[in-house]
């Protein structure tokens, strides 16, 4: 996960506007327009024909328009409002059994035909260095179809003034509740993607995402101490309806902390964040040792992301990411022997279909219909995440639909699907779960995270830590991080709450590849218990 | 679009400034051509060229600011982008922290361009890939690497007559070499302005050697050890620390440089007296463009950041500088840390017991109060005894603050250039021998 792009952008200035990943800045009303499907089909056909005429045995065309809006505030002021657009066409071909790719912002039929021919030329040139020809799992053409994120309220249609008013109300509430500082942001995304291929598919998709992060800081000048509590919202594949709080989506956890499901009360969370940031200043420092951890879904998503989502990406397993993100401990021999990845309580599934998730789309970026499949079934490793040119390695007849490119100008490759922990089958609530824990820590919200290049050794922090003694939350504690070895950690899972507790977290910025690309992905779970996990104390003194 | 000459860039930016009807107008025009080749499993996986040029225009009516960008440069497009920025400015709320455009500056050019780097061809990239893949194949090793080269230009102008133009170029190379049984892994990286000094054959030999020598790793107990951090191993830690040098954050009480009771620690000695870090856009080995685009084009200067252990500099934004009656500076683009004359190998020779760390990985901030960072060693970690590398050891997770680390210096070696993958800054950074470096757990990862 790489938030550096976002942080750089939030810094604003003329330089920030030049970051190519975010495209050109546009006026707000342009965020509402879409390009006519017939025009896109005409362009796509021009590219497909040009590629075939030059000898491509396969071609896909992605016509993309990527819209983003940022509203950045602190305390009583707006720091920045930016709308950006990036549009163009990416063309991928197979010629002489080798991939070739070219992209252009020239969206004329002549422009895309030229790019298609360039892609074929590159494929032919690279075929000299190709050890084995590309083996592509078949996909049946679906004709002309469309898919849209089922949003209730298009975020791009909400006036900027309403967004600014919301954030400033959030900030005022936090300051009134005792925060020293607050930074709050709205980050809205609309990907308008048209995919066409020589398989006979013409797929028009309209994908929406929303994220409303905030950082609340409490400073105690006298002691020189400061503490941060980040918002407990999650980025979602939703429209602006996510920010209209519904009582049914609010969850009060044992000990009193409040978390959210399919809608988010940002003002209420800002008040809680201010109070809890101040409480953190005075909280007792944790005694290091072994604890039973009770991990809320607002926290557990990131542990799933790092210790399950990444090691089960097949390109990492094979070695294609060795120079950057690394390889994986979950090698093919482990898969063949049904390696005990976790305890019997642990079933981890991948999908690109969960409603409101960041990964949800109708079809992936190589025209494969999305689906759900198990990665770890009752503890045993049973599958990976693959795309069309990897399916044959596992003996699969079709791709699972994990292909994604973060821009029209980036080549699509295997990216993480949503990867989630299946809820427990027996009825169990967090209130039931805590009753049996004698010496534990309850962790809510994601914090610092780090994992090695084969995804064995990881360390995670959090936002809120509560000591559990003899079945009850006693007090807030601080300076907590836990260290795991992935298989031991998942084998230490002794209970998972039922589906009524299932919630999602996620990331807008999962980084991979060279040159780097980002993708957005969700991870769902119910609260889960892990026994005897190593907790360290992270407090240090600078003298 | 390619790389615009100074005259071409000036013609465009002059038109933009003239078109604006706002109280003031600033604009920047930047373009780059970036080429790359990526390979893995001893085979080329992707290669490409990205050509990107963009114009950014920022206008202000009073304290209302609007900005827009475009990648077309005909007269109609220039008119469109200026009007769009003006329209957004009229809709924007007043920014209480608005700062007017900077006055005309005299930027002293720095040596950031290399014609040889700008002339790199796809054939050259393929040769580099082949120079890494071929010897690995012969030696039962597996190479995965990435070569990225770029040439670029940047130009800025504003309605107060400010003007600057400069061209740059650079090469960044990384390669990971693994034994075919997956038990050993080595790595090498080079960051250069001028590709002439790059020799892929020489570099790949380093990664191959480390891969072979790291194959029979033994486990050491986690704990505090004397370490020799190669430049790539400490660059990420020191870069992270630099984010705490923001004056406003320090004054607000939310940096490790905040002072108990209020204010900041400017002028205090916080590090070993051998620690001197400065920034200099004209440094011959690590030159950067002499202005800071993030701060409206403020000139960069030679700045002593840490001098003999004492904090000499905090980064004031233009707004915060005005509030605090201080001078605002362009954000440093490079960091130069002084060291000694010894190579990493010579530091090893003078070490009785210790650990040599090739690089660190997945570094994240655990506690901003103390800049406590966690991360892992990777691609070549070795045990040293009596001045010799005895055997490879399993990788460690560390939990350490660079502030503490820079108080535990035993010896510093000769600085080398590091950038891109390892740091957002171009750095000249020495190998360091550090005592009591904190490893908290073992990793099975190779």
Joined tokens for residue A79: 């720091």
**Nearest one of A408, A379, A421 to A525, comparing CA atoms:** A421
With an 8 Å Cβ cutoff, is A128 touching chain B?
Answer: no
* DSSP H helices in A158-259: 160-176
Average pLDDT value for chain B: 95
Residue A20 pLDDT exceeds 60: no
In tens, the pLDDT along A218-266 reads 999 999 999 999 999 999 999 999 999 999 999 999 999 999 999 999 9
A142: phi then psi, degrees, rounded to nearest 5: -110, 5
Domains of chain A: 4-159+180-210 (3.30.2290.10), 214-282 (no CATH), 289-537 (no CATH)
Residue B302 pLDDT exceeds 90: yes
With an 8 Å Cβ cutoff, is A452 touching chain B?
Answer: yes
Q: Given pLDDT bands bounded at 50, 70 and 90, which one contains residue A14?
A: low
A322–B261 CB contact, under 8 Å: no
Note the pTM of the prediction, 2 decimals.
Answer: 0.95
| Alpha-carbon radius of gyration of chain B | 24
Identify which has the larger pLDDT, B306 or B52: B306
Q: Given pLDDT bands bounded at 50, 70 and 90, which one contains residue A5?
A: very low
List the CATH code of the domain at B6-212. 3.30.2290.10
In tens, the pLDDT along B223-259 reads 999 999 999 999 999 999 999 999 999 999 999 999 9
Please give the average per-residue pLDDT across A412-416, as a whole number.
Answer: 97
Please give the average per-residue pLDDT across B36-51, as a whole number.
Answer: 86
Chains A, B: CB contacts within 8 A come to 238
Supply the pLDDT for residue A31.
61
In tens, the pLDDT along A314-324 reads 999 999 999 99
Residue A12 pLDDT exceeds 60: no
Question: Which one of B48, B136, B164 makes the best mutation probe of the A interface by having the most chain A beta carbons within 10 Å?
Answer: B48
Print the SS3 string covering A342-400. CCCCCCEEEECCCCCCCCCCCECCCCCECCEEEEEECCEECCCECCCCCHHHHCCCCCC
Q: Given pLDDT bands bounded at 50, 70 and 90, which one contains residue A17?
A: very low
- Give one word for B260, left, alpha or beta, with left for phi > 0 and alpha for psi -120 to 50: beta
Q: Given pLDDT bands bounded at 50, 70 and 90, which one contains residue A18?
A: very low
Q: How far apart are the first and last CA of chain A?
A: 33
Please give the average per-residue pLDDT across B173-192, as a whole number.
Answer: 97
Question: Which one of B29, B45, B57, B438 makes the best mutation probe of the A interface by having the most chain A beta carbons within 10 Å?
Answer: B45
In chain B, where does the domain assigned CATH 3.30.2290.10 lie? 6-212
Which helix (H) or strand (E) segment holds residue B191: the answer is: strand B185-192
In tens, the pLDDT along B110-148 reads 999 999 999 999 889 989 999 999 999 999 999 999 999
Residue B76 pLDDT exceeds 50: yes
With an 8 Å Cβ cutoff, is A105 touching chain B?
Answer: yes
The answer to whether A149 touches A207, Cβ cutoff 8 Å, is yes
Enumerate the β-bridge partners of residue B311.
B306
In tens, the pLDDT along A368-407 reads 999 999 999 999 999 999 999 999 999 999 999 999 999 9
A448–B67 CB contact, under 8 Å: no
* Rounded CA separation A475/A309 (Å): 33
Please give the average per-residue pLDDT across B102-109, as a whole number.
Answer: 97
- Residues from chain A that touch B91, judged by Cβ atoms under 8 A, are 28, 160
Q: Given pLDDT bands bounded at 50, 70 and 90, which one contains residue A339?
A: very high
With an 8 Å Cβ cutoff, is B84 touching chain A?
Answer: yes
Q: Could you give the percent of chain A with pLDDT greater than 90?
A: 84
Mind telling me how many Å the CA of A334 is from chain B's nearest CA?
14
In tens, the pLDDT along A158-191 reads 988 899 999 999 999 999 999 999 999 999 999 9
* Rounded CA separation B147/B124 (Å): 10
Supply the pLDDT for residue A210.
98
């Amino acid at each position: 996960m790489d938030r550096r792009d976002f942080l750089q952008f939030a810094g604003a200035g003329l330089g920030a506007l030049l970051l190519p990943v975010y495209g050109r800045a546009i006026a707000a009303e342009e965020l509402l327009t879409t390009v006519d499907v017939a025009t896109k089909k005409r362009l796509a056909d021009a590219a497909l024909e040009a590629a075939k005429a030059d000898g491509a045995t396969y071609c896909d065309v992605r016509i993309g328009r990527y819209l983003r809006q940022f509203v950045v505030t602190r305390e009583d002021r707006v720091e920045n409002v930016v709308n950006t657009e990036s549009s163009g066409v990416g063309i991928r071909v197979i010629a002489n059994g080798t991939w070739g790719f070219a992209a252009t912002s020239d969206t004329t039929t002549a422009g895309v035909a030229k790019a298609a021919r360039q892609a074929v030329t590159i494929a032919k040139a690279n075929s000299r260095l190709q050890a084995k020809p590309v083996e592509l799992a078949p996909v049946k053409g679906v004709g002309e179809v469309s898919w849209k994120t089922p949003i209730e309220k298009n975020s791009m249609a909400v006036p900027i003034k309403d967004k600014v008013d919301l954030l400033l109300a959030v900030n005022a509430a936090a300051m009134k509740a005792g925060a020293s500082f607050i930074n709050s942001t709205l980050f809205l995304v609309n990907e308008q993607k048209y995919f066409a291929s020589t398989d006979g598919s013409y797929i028009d998709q309209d994908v929406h995402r929303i994220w409303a992060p905030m950082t609340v800081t409490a400073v105690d000048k006298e002691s020189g101490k400061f503490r941060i509590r980040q918002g407990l919202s999650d980025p979602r594949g939703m429209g602006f309806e996510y920010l209209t709080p519904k009582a049914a989506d609010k969850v009060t956890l044992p000990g009193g902390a409040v978390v959210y499901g399919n809608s988010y009360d940002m003002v209420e969370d800002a008040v809680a964040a201010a109070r809890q940031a101040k409480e953190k200043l005075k909280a007792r420092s944790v005694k290091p040792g072994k604890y039973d951890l009770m991990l809320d879904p607002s926290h557990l998503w990131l542990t799933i992301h790092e210790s399950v989502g990444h090691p089960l990406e097949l390109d990492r397993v094979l070695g294609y990411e060795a120079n950057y993100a690394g390889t994986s401990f979950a090698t093919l021999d482990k898969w063949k022997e049904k390696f005990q990845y976790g305890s019997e309580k642990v079933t981890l599934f991948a999908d690109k279909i969960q409603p409101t998730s960041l990964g949800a789309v109708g079809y992936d970026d190589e025209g494969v219909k999305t689906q759900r499949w198990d990665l770890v079934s009752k503890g045993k490793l049973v599958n990976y995440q693959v795309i069309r040119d990897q399916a044959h390695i596992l003996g699969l007849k079709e791709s699972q639909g994990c292909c994604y490119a973060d821009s029209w100008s980036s080549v699509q490759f295997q990216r993480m699907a949503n990867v989630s922990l299946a809820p427990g089958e027996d009825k169990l609530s967090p209130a039931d779960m805590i009753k049996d824990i004698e010496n534990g820590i309850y962790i809510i919200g994601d914090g610092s995270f780090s994992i090695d290049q084969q995804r064995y050794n990881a360390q995670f922090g959090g936002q809120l830590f509560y000591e559990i003694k003899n079945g009850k939350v006693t007090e807030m504690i601080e300076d907590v991080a836990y260290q795991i070895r992935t298989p031991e950690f998942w084998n230490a899972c002794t209970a998972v709450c039922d589906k009524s507790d299932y919630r999602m977290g996620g990331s807008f910025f999962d980084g991979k590849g060279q040159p780097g690309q980002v993708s957005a992905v969700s991870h769902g779970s119910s609260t889960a218990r892990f026994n005897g996990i190593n907790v360290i104390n992270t407090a240090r003194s600078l003298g | 679009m390619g790389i615009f000459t100074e005259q071409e860039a000036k013609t465009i930016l002059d038109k933009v400034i003239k078109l604006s009807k706002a109280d003031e107008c600033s604009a920047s025009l930047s373009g780059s051509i970036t080429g790359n080749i990526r390979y893995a499993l001893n085979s080329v996986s992707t290669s490409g060229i990205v050509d990107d040029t963009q114009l950014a225009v920022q206008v202000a009516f009073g304290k209302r600011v609007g900005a827009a960008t475009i990648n077309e440069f005909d007269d109609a497009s220039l008119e469109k982008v200026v009007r769009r920025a003006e329209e957004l400015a009229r809709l924007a709320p007043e920014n209480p922290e608005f700062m007017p455009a900077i006055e005309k500056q005299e930027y002293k050019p720095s040596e950031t361009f290399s014609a040889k780097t700008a002339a790199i061809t796809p054939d050259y990239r393929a040769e580099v890939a082949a120079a890494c893949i071929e010897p690995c194949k012969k030696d039962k090793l597996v190479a995965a690497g990435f070569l990225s080269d770029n040439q670029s230009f940047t130009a800025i102008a504003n309605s107060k007559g400010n003007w600057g133009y400069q061209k740059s170029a650079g090469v960044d190379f990384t390669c990971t070499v693994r034994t075919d049984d997956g038990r050993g892994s080595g790595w090498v990286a080079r960051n250069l302005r001028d590709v002439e000094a790059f020799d892929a054959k020489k570099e790949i030999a380093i990664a191959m050697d480390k891969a072979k020598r790291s194959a029979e790793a033994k486990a050491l107990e986690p704990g505090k050890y004397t370490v020799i951090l190669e430049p790539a191993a400490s660059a990420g830690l020191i870069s992270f620390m630099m984010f705490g040098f923001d004056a406003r954050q320090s004054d607000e009480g939310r940096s490790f440089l905040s002072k108990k009771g209020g204010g900041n620690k400017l002028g205090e000695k916080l590090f070993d007296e051998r620690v001197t870090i400065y920034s200099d856009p004209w440094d011959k080995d690590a030159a950067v463009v002499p202005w800071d685009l993030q701060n409206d084009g403020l000139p960069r200067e030679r700045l002593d950041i840490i001098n003999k252990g004492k904090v000499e500099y905090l980064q004031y934004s233009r707004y915060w500088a005005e509030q605090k009656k201080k001078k605002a500076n362009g954000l440093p683009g490079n960091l130069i840390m002084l060291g000694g004359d010894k190579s990493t190998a010579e530091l090893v020779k003078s070490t009785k017991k210790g650990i040599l760390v090739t690089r660190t990985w997945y570094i994240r901030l655990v506690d901003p109060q103390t800049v406590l960072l966690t991360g892992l060693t990777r691609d070549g970690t070795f045990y040293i005894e009596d001045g010799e590398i005895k055997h490879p050891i399993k990788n460690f997770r560390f939990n350490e603050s660079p502030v503490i680390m820079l108080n535990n210096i035993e010896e510093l070696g000769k600085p080398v250039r590091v950038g891109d993958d390892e740091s957002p800054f171009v750095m000249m950074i020495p190998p360091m021998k550090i005592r009591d470096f904190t490893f908290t757990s073992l990793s099975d990862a190779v």
